[in-house]
Amino acid sequence: MAVTAKIAIIGCGPGARECLTMEALAAAQRAEVLIGTARLFPLFPDLKAECIRVGSYSQETIEAIRRSSGKRIAVLVTGDPGLASLASVVIAHFGAEACQVLPGISSVQVAFARLGLSWEGARILSAHASAPEIDFSNFSSERTIAVLAGNAESLAWIAALAHALTGDWRIVVAQDLTLSSERIFEVSAEELQQLPQPLRAVIVFCRKSQR
């Protein structure tokens, strides 16, 4: 079934309502149908749109969009739609011409801002769903690396990366960014794998010369 109305893909930022853009709020207000995970709906209280709650599986979202064909649809995605996002799956299924992407603030942006670091030229990796299949030797020339953590398997990969990096590195965990439970702290390579799960965090590696 084709979707005949434009699909708004809304970047919901790192978690706090204060980090939503005015554009995101307006798009949610216009929508007849909101599709997203349960934790995102409290960011948009008092809306009259039909709310369809889906799990973390992309196929559920695709099917919900198809069932809502012809209506003004808004798909809520965490962070920014251009970074490790469900947006790419939606666009691949329905085409870029059927979608309006509304950028949001990413947790990577917030992490670097909290640390007072530029993220120009940083290597950004997502280990949110699974561990990346990248040889550690590819990181030898990097000065800054940011990894989106997700589960125990990916955290083990991040810890292995920490052990594989040569030179003097600072490792910072930026956890629950913008939320009341936000914590930013430094760890050693040995301490990384001992962090409690689930971990909503950006792990930032930077050369100590960048302090």
% the chain with pLDDT above 90: 73
Q: Give the chain's mean pLDDT.
A: 91
Per-residue pLDDT band at 208 (split at 50, 70, 90): confident
Our CA angle for 139, 177, 103, nearest 5°, is 80
Domain edge (last residue) among 53, 71, 102: 102
Percentage of the residues of the chain whose pLDDT score is greater than 70: 97
H/E/C letters for each residue in 75-97?
EEECECCCCCCCHHHHHHHHCHH
Could you tell me the CA-to-CA distances from 10 to 22, 36, 61, 153 in Å, in that order? 11, 10, 14, 29
**What values do phi and psi take at 138, rounded to 5?**
-70, -10
Structural domain count of the chain? 2
Q: What is the mean pLDDT of residues 42-66?
A: 91
| pTM of the entire predicted model | 0.89
Rg (CA), the chain: 18
Residues 19, 112, single domain; the answer is no
pLDDT at 1 over 50: no
Domain boundary residue, one of 102, 124, 155: 102
21: burial class by Cβ within 10 Å (0-12, 13-18, 19+)? middle
Q: Do residue 160 and residue 131 come from a single domain? A: yes
Q: What is the pLDDT of residues 172-182, one digit of tens each?
A: 999 999 999 99
Please state, in angstroms and rounded to a whole number, the distance separating the CA atoms of residues 88 and 109.
19
Residue 73 lies in a domain: yes
Q: Which residues pair with 74 in a beta bridge?
A: 8, 34
Nearest-angstrom CA–CA distance, 54 and 89: 15
DSSP at 37: -
Following CA atoms 147, 148, 153, 159 in sequence, which dihedral angle do they give, to the nearest 10 degrees?
30
Q: Pick the last residue of a domain from 64, 79, 102.
A: 102
Does 1 fall in a domain? no
* Distance spanning both ends of the chain, measured CA to CA: 54
Q: Is the pLDDT of residue 192 over 70?
A: yes
Tell me the per-residue pLDDT of 122-137, one tens digit each, with 9 for 90 and over: 999 998 878 888 999 8
Would you say residue 211 has pLDDT above 70?
no
Task: Give the pLDDT confidence of 60-73 residue by residue, as tens digits.
Answer: 999 999 999 999 99
pLDDT for residue 56 is more than 80: no
Q: Give the range of the structural domain holding residue 52, as residue numbers without chain letter.
A: 7-102
Provide the β-strand partners of residue 148.
126, 202
22 and 86 in a single domain? The answer is yes
Residues 203 and 142 in one domain: yes
